Amino acid sequence: MSFDWFRKTKKEAPQFWKDYLSGFQKQAGNPLSKRYVVFDCETTGLDPKKDVILSIGAIGIEGDAILVNDYFEVFLEQDVYRPETVPIHGILKTGKEEKLTEPEAVIRFLSYIKDATLVGHHTNFDVKMVNQALKRLDLGKLKNKKIDTNDLYQKHKGWQSDQYSGLDELCAVFKISKSDRHTASGDAFITALIFLKLKKKLRI
Amino acid sequence: MKNSIAERVADFLKNFPPFKSLPYPDLLDLSNQVQVVYLEKNAILFQVGDAAHQNFYVVKDGAIGLSVISNGEEILIDQCDEGDIIGLRPFFAKNQYAMAAKAQEESILYAIPIEIFKPFVMQNQEVLNFLLESFASNTRNPYDIDYKGKLISENSFIAKQDPEVPYFQPIVYSKKTITAQSTDLVEDIAKLMSSHKIGSVIIEENQLPVGIVTDKDLRFKIATGKFPIRVPVSQIMSAPVITISRDISIAEAQLLLLKHGIGHLCVTRDGTPGSKIIGILSEHDILVVQTNNPGVILKLVKRATKSKDLKAVREKLTALIKNSIESNIPIQHISNLAGEINLAITRRAIYLAIEKIGEQPPVQFAWMNVGSQGRREQLLLTDQDNAIVFEDVEEERYEKVKNYFIELAKKVNKTLNKVGYEYCPAEMMASNPLWCKSLSEWKQQFSTWIFKPGEKGIMMCTIFFDYDYVYGDERLTNAITEEIFKNIQNNQLFFAYLGTDALRNPPPIGFFRQFLVESDGEHKDTFDIKSRAMLPLIDAARLLILSNHFTGVNNTMERFKKLAELEPQNREFFEACAEAFANLMYFRTREGLSQDSGGRFLNLKELSKSDKVKLKNSFQPIHELHAILKQRFQLSYFT
């Protein structure tokens, strides 16, 4: 029935999404949130249209400090599975990590990030991956401000902003140990350290 | 939710006390509350007088320097490396920090909230003991194998409390200065001195110091009848007066006294002769503060009449060096003092030898120390390297003159050997006819080394280019210096040889930052700190200072400091080199004193963790130095 169809599309947004959005409205009167969330997604591949998120790791930064207890990590249950990328992220389809459904993971992620500025290395990709997951829930895109550590690095070097430097290269430049590389939380932590350094150098 | 970042923090902390003593689940809970803080180089974590933070800190990466303010100057007390704890003060005292903590290089710290750590402390006796000991013993880690005698902690003003560091105490000078005018008669001034029972009077004009008269002047100039007693004092006073400011340390004052060979310093408002007199500091004032004192040792040198006396003095110096090393007195300062005393011993030995021969030298000559002695880097009793240059004489007198000096040198070498400086196994001593030459022979010798730089010649250069004038006529050594600089001007080939030689030293650490130890022989599995770490810095410093056409500094640390001045664009780097060298010297001296050896081969097993980190940090500049040498002297063609 057309009415049902109409109701389905116009149905009221779920509470978690409203809560998420209200975090930004509140900002109008209040000063900007000083919280940054550095996050990283491990995915089945590099195509936001076809690939899906396998895990999200994130860590909060306030001022000049990474807050270890402001931490987020989830593993997702997915039907899309690409054996060829397993060597990179090490997440098996039936791994021992406790896995959440994609909607559950997204809900927790939104309630975790709130209105923080999102930071990531090539963060556009990770944001796109999350946006695709949101789209599958019939919701809009992420509203958070974004900072890409790659852009910061190119700016710091005085290079063209379209240049590309990998996380491994930055680890070498900033003398950061690469343990836990290619786990979402490990990459998020590494990126957070890089961000702290660049933040100081660029006086952000 | 499992927090893998907290796990990572816990995995780091569990290697270090006091966290070692905590059960892992507790450590994980604690790690969950940690903040990871990044400090840029030179960023300040806290300053003296800052209100206590809510956290204390553990160094994850990098190095944090702890310093106190003493005599208006910041004095580095300790460097904290990986695993060291900083900022315990708020645990025990609810007031401000008494030390400053500053990042000496880029650093990452784990900040641990004190409120959260307290329950763990109360529940765990071992943890409590560790913190109490750390706080009470002024060491940052009482479990460290070499903690004894270390003066480390941000908990207290060391300078005020510890009798072992008198060097850093501010001077105590007499404020009731008796002054006179330069037109006053000597007789009246002598009366003034007698009535006040003082040994010196500052001569002032408009409250500015223009000269000084001491007992010594009266003795030498009046009592000998050189001047009548009723001349104006301006005729016999010593001028200019060496002035200091009131906030210099005993160490600095002492050095000035030694340097100028004087007994009094005038304290003025801003430390220059152009400001108002506020007091006078005598050698005696320093003696009162310090009993085991370099000034006393130096006096003993001057009174020595036999090699046995000199040997006793040198033993005192060794004790002084040992004490100073244990008290963490900066190595630069120790080496300056030891350098002055070593020099005085050699001078005395020469003086005594001339007396013994019973015949004054037939012509002017100069005694030079070369090698490490010439660089004044000899804290341990290693072998002697020296040479003599004498004035050119007519051919028929040459033989006789040379024989005199060889005879003299033999006596001096023998005395020095008795004192404890071994004979040089390669016979680089003034008693060797090869190294006892006339001025033109020396000029010729250096030209040969410079223009025909074979491998052997270059080795000689590295030893003889670090010559230090010790005794006799300094014009002779100056003449050699002039000749050398004339010859090396734009001499690319020579610099290239010197550069190649500087690169030949084996590297200190391997690809994985592990120490490279000796693979065989008597010193198997020990680390050769001299050739792997110190020589690269020594050689590079010599080459760079020569290529900057600068003379007069031999000491490697001072050469780097000079280079920092000469090349402001590389200032930071050269300062790092100077500091690295100071650290290496510290390690070598400590090793040598404990093993009664030359300290060249370090037993890595006996080094604490923090020492290893410190040592490795000192290697850092070597690599970059080599790159600079290669690029500057275009050595790619040679290596």
Q: What is the pLDDT of residues B149-189, one digit of tens each?
A: 333 333 333 333 333 344 455 666 777 788 899 899 999 99
Contact in structure between B332 and B582 (CB atoms under 8 Å): yes
Question: Does residue B108 belong to the interface with chain A, where contact is any CB pair within 8 Å?
Answer: yes
Q: What is the CATH number that goes with domain B179-291? A: 3.10.580.10
Burial of residue B556 (CB within 10 Å: 0-12, 13-18, 19+) is buried
Picking from A69, A179, A200, the nearest residue to B38 by CB comes out as A200
Question: Which among A42, A66, A194, A201 is the top mutation candidate for probing chain B, defined by the most B β-carbons within 10 Å of its own β-carbon?
Answer: A66
Q: Strand B44-46 to strand B35-39: parallel, antiparallel, or no bridges (unpaired)?
A: unpaired
What pLDDT is recorded for position B161? 32
Closest CA in chain A for residue B7: A68
Q: Which residues of A touch B1 (CB under 8 A)?
A: 71-73
C-alpha closest to that of B280 among B193, B346, B359:
B193
Kindly state the DSSP code that residue B425 receives in the 8-state scheme.
Answer: T
Average pLDDT over residues A22-27: 74
- Residue written as token pair 């910061």: A152
Mean pLDDT of residues grouped by 10 in chain B (639 residues)? 83 85 87 90 86 88 80 70 81 71 88 86 73 51 37 33 44 79 91 86 90 89 89 90 82 77 87 88 71 68 86 84 76 83 92 92 94 85 89 93 95 93 87 93 90 77 86 91 86 83 77 68 81 90 88 88 90 90 90 83 81 82 85 63
Question: Does residue B42 belong to the interface with chain A, where contact is any CB pair within 8 Å?
Answer: no
For chain A, the average pLDDT equals 83
Confidence of residue A166 (pLDDT cuts 50, 70, 90): confident
Query: Is B4-162 in CATH node 3.30.70.600?
Result: no
What pLDDT is recorded for position B136? 47
Q: What are A76's strand-pairing partners?
A: A100
Got the DSSP string for B156-225? S-HHHH-TT-GGGSBP--BS---EEETTSBHHHHHHHHHHHT-SEEEEEETTEEEEEEEHHHIIIIIITS
What pLDDT is recorded for position B635? 64
Question: Does residue A70 belong to the interface with chain B, where contact is any CB pair within 8 Å?
Answer: no
- Residue written as token pair 């019973």: B358
Average pLDDT over residues A38-45: 91
Q: Which residues of A touch B34 (CB under 8 A)?
A: 68
- Cβ partners under 8 Å of residue A11, min gap 6: none
Per-residue 3-state assignment (H helix, E strand, C coil) for B242-299: CEECCCCEHHHHHHHHHHHCCCEEEEECCCCCCCCEEEEEEHHHHHHHCCCCHHHHHH
Percent of chain A predicted with pLDDT > 90: 41
- Cβ partners under 8 Å of residue A42, min gap 6: A53, A54, A55, A57, A88, A89, A91, A182, A183, A184, A187
Burial of residue B469 (CB within 10 Å: 0-12, 13-18, 19+) is buried
Burial of residue B358 (CB within 10 Å: 0-12, 13-18, 19+) is exposed
Closest CA in chain A for residue B3: A71
Contact in structure between B392 and B439 (CB atoms under 8 Å): yes
Domain ranges of chain B: 4-162, 179-291, 293-483, 490-639
Question: Does residue B9 belong to the interface with chain A, where contact is any CB pair within 8 Å?
Answer: yes
Q: Strand B55-61 to strand B44-46: parallel, antiparallel, or no bridges (unpaired)?
A: unpaired
Domain B293-483 fold: Beta Polymerase; domain 2 (3.30.460)
What pLDDT, in 10s, does the model give residues B15-67?
887 888 888 888 898 999 999 999 888 889 988 878 888 888 999 888 888 88
CB-CB under 8 Å, B32 with A183? no
Confidence of residue A93 (pLDDT cuts 50, 70, 90): low
Question: Does residue B58 belong to the interface with chain A, where contact is any CB pair within 8 Å?
Answer: no
Q: Is the dihedral of CA B267, B268, B269, B270 positive or negative?
A: negative
ipTM score over 0.95, yes or no: no
**CA of A61 vs chain B CAs: smallest distance (Å):** 9
C-alpha closest to that of B265 among B311, B215, B217, B200:
B200
CB-CB under 8 Å, A175 with B61? yes
- B567's tokens: 């090349």
C-alpha closest to that of A123 among A149, A102, A105:
A149
Within this chain, domains B4-162 and B293-483 share the same CATH topology = no
What pLDDT is recorded for position A32? 58
Element (H, E) at A38: strand A35-43
Q: Is B78 helix (H, G, I), strand (E, B) or coil?
A: strand
Question: Does residue B29 belong to the interface with chain A, where contact is any CB pair within 8 Å?
Answer: no
**CA of B53 vs chain A CAs: smallest distance (Å):** 14
Contact in structure between B34 and B63 (CB atoms under 8 Å): no
Q: What are A66's strand-pairing partners?
A: A61, B36
- Residue written as token pair 């002492």: B254
Q: Give Cα B411 to chain centroid, integer Å.
A: 30
Cα–Cα distance between B445 and B440 in angstroms, integer? 8
Average pLDDT over residues A172-185: 78
Cα–Cα distance between A111 and A113 in angstroms, integer? 6
Spell out a b/e string for A51-83, using b for 16 or more CB atoms within 10 Å of the CB, else e.
bbbbbbbbbbbeebbbbbebbbbbbbebeeeee
Contact in structure between B581 and B555 (CB atoms under 8 Å): no
What pLDDT is recorded for position B502? 83
Domains and CATH numbers, chain A: 35-201 (3.30.420.10)
CB-CB under 8 Å, A68 with B35? yes
Kindly state the DSSP code that residue B99 receives in the 8-state scheme.
Answer: S
What pLDDT is recorded for position A41? 92
What pLDDT, in 10s, does the model give residues A53-90?
999 999 999 988 999 999 999 999 887 777 777 767 76
What pLDDT is recorded for position A28? 53
Contact in structure between A198 and A121 (CB atoms under 8 Å): no
CB-CB under 8 Å, A193 with B35? no
C-alpha closest to that of A89 among A193, A171, A197, A187:
A187
